[in-house]
Structure 1
Amino acid sequence: MEQQVTIKKVLNNNVIIAEHPSYKEVVLIGKGIGFNRKKDEAISFAKADKTFLLSDEKEKEQYMNLLPHIDESLIDFMNDILIYVEKRMGQELNEHIHVALTDHIAFAINRAKNNMQFSNPFLMEIESLYPKEYQIAMEVVTMAYDHMGIQFPEGEVGFIALHIHSAVTDKTLREINRHNQLISQLVTIIENNMGLTIDKNSVDYHRLVQHLHRVIDRIHHEESIGDEVRLANMLKQEYPVCYNLAWKLIKVMQKQLNKSVDESEAIYLTIHLQRLTNKS
């Protein structure tokens, strides 16, 4: 038998909130799923193209307040987008993306229609750190152009990529942005101290940014990479400038993240910095 749910609220022709016997409140999305439906009416769970839970009361309220202000065709389009992203990423997305990305795309459309230009200062870092999410975000922007004839600026690709990364890692955008800002700050410190400008399109830049990202992740999860005293002493003697700069970066990370950093991180940072010195 088809599983039945009970309608609690019809948000529009394409979205309803229903009572599920196991999951309590669920959001059902599908073309025409809410048309001529009434509260307390039973409906087949299988009729929805997309379902998700909104267990967070604040997000549920935000979603309910958002829907009346956006075109129903956009809800339909967002449903297609989220199914596409889920398929491309090969995993389920956290429920918060339904609210966050719908809200972001709706505002992005208004910005594009009003020709409001803005830049994304972390575009290079985002592309380097999350290449798969960035590629999918580019595809989403192409889909938006094909569907609505709206051309989003390049900066939007970065923001959409962040939303996708947030949904697959269950990290908040605030946390992701904080880490990206820290990486950008660390790169600036490296350039200033080493008296060079790093080519943002170079392999070395991508390696450096990805390494800094992994360091921050290890610090966040309080992971150790082992003790390499002999190697540390050798690098300290051979490359004192890079070794001291590595420790300067570590102290910045300690202060920003409010966590201790494994001393061995200085070894691998020194190696990356020395590689940059050689290339310059």
Structure 2
Amino acid sequence: MVTVKKVLNNNVVIAEHPDYDEVVLIGKGLGFGKQAGEEIAGEHAEKFFVLRDEKEQEQYKSLLEYVDEDFITLMNEEIERLEDKFRSSLNEHIHVGLTDHLFFAVKRLQQGHGIKNPFLSETELAYPQEYQAAVELAERFDEALGIRIPEGEIGFITLHIHSALTNRDLSEVNRHTQLVSELVKRIETYFEISINRKDINYLRLVRHLNHAIERVENETYAENQDNLLKVLQTEYPLCYNLSWKLMKIMQQRLQKKVPDAEAVYLTLHIQRIVSGEQKRI
């Protein structure tokens, strides 16, 4: 049971919570007709979001000063759909981060400004379920607001969703996506090729790089592959040498040791990419 402290609008209430003291409650029609001191219970308590963190609360209150109530309602519905779709609670920061991001993205689009996303391909391949959820969200925004959300913006929405699902900081998710993109470009430059973004080997490479970065961050290293390393060094010397260059970049960016065994997997992925591009030519 929670008690109303202040109604900010029809959908947002500051309340006293028995476990979290003062909280911000977000839910469709939650504040309608409510007065300070009233309890929120029954059907009103079934579907709402609780902002417990004091910093998140203040950021959300500030956001309400420039984001109109209809947009807040739309975002609440979309976040609720995301939780239902993934059957998981989302980090509460998504109420601030994604709402703020999309509000200004829509404003830019309405003013005729384009949105560029150089990491779209890597984002879609790394987080396919989140990307599909972002596509569906964009379609509903088009229906509700009459504004088409471009692919580049769908990529940014994907990162927000992934961040909220995994409780990872958005800046960290962005850094990892950019690192994958940089590593792919290094391969293209080294072999003077342009990798086909639709090729299955490119998909496998990007997914491997994302998993490799996560393993390094979590220090869940792969098993020793010394014997295979020697074979690959002889069979594919160029791919092998490049794999070590990429590992050095990963190590510098992540500030963590990349295990030698990673050279095996990278060499094999690079070799498949290069072999496929040569056949295409």
Q: Which amino acid is 2:6 matched to?
A: K
| Residue equivalent to 1:193 | 190
For 1:72-87, what aligned pairs fall within 5 Å after superposition? 72-87=69-84
What code does the residue aligned with 2:109 have?
A: A
Letter in 1 for 2:204: R
Which position in structure 2 is the counterpart of 1:202?
A: 199
Q: How does 1:156-195 map to 2 (within 5 A)?
A: 156-195=153-192
Long gaps (5+) in structure 2: none
Runs of 4+ displaced beyond 6 Å:
none
Corresponding residue for 1:155? Answer: 152
1:2-81 to 2 correspondence within 5 Å?
4-44=1-41, 46-48=43-45, 50-81=47-78
Which of 222, 236, 241 lines up with 1:239 in the alignment? 236
C-alpha contact (below 8 Å) 2:27/2:49 kept by paired residues: no
Q: Tell me what 2:88 maps to.
A: 91
Report SS of the residue matched to 2:135: helix
- Are 2:122 and 1:125 aligned? yes
**Per-residue deviation, residues 224-263 of structure 1 (Å, max 9, x unmatched):** 1111211111111111111110000000111111111111
Question: Is the contact between residue 26 and residue 52 of structure 1 (CA under 8 Å) also seen in structure 2?
Answer: no
Pairwise CA distance, 1:276: 1.2
Length-normalised TM-score, structure 2:
0.94
Query: Pick from 121, 131, 134: which aligns with 1:134?
Result: 131
Q: Report the CA distance between 1:83 and its aligned residue.
A: 1.2
Deviations 1:162-220 (A, max 9, x none): 11000101111100111111111111111111121101122111111111111111110
Q: Is the 8 A contact 1:228 1:264 kept in 2?
A: yes
- Report Cα offsets for 1:64-103 as digits up to 9, x if no partner: 0111312211121111101111111221111111111111
Provide Cα deviations, 1:112-164, integer angstroms capped at 9, x if missing partner. Answer: 21111120111111111011111110100000011111112221101111110
Q: How many angstroms does 1:46 deviate by?
A: 4.1
Does 1:230 find its partner at 2:230?
Answer: no
Q: Which residue among 211, 220, 223 is the counterpart of 2:217? A: 220
Residues 72 and 208 (structure 1 numbering): CA distance in 2 closer, same or farther, change over 3 Å? same
CA contact (8 A) 1:231 1:267 kept: yes
Q: Secondary structure at the match of 1:69?
A: coil
Paired residue for 2:267? 270
RMSD value, Cα: 1.4
Q: Corresponding residue for 1:257?
A: 254
Q: Aligned AA for 2:51?
A: L
Pick closer, same or farther for the CA change 1:162–1:45 going to 2, 3 Å.
Answer: farther
SS at the partner of 2:220?
coil
Alpha-carbon distance change, 6 to 45 in structure 1, aligned in 2, over 3 angstroms: farther
Distance 1:106 1:160 in 2: 12
* 1:29-75 C-alpha deviation (Å, 9 max, x unpaired): 33332133232332226404633332322221110011131221112
Counterpart CA distance in 2 for 1:35 and 1:155 is: 37
TM-score normalised by structure 1 residue count: 0.94
In structure 2, what is the Cα distance between the partners aligned to 1:35 and 1:134? 34
Structure 1 residue ranges without an equivalent (≥5): none
User: Matched residues in 2 for 1:135 and 1:162: separation?
Assistant: 12
**Residue identity matched to 2:4:** I
C-alpha distance in structure 2 between counterparts of 1:186 and 1:180, whole Å: 10
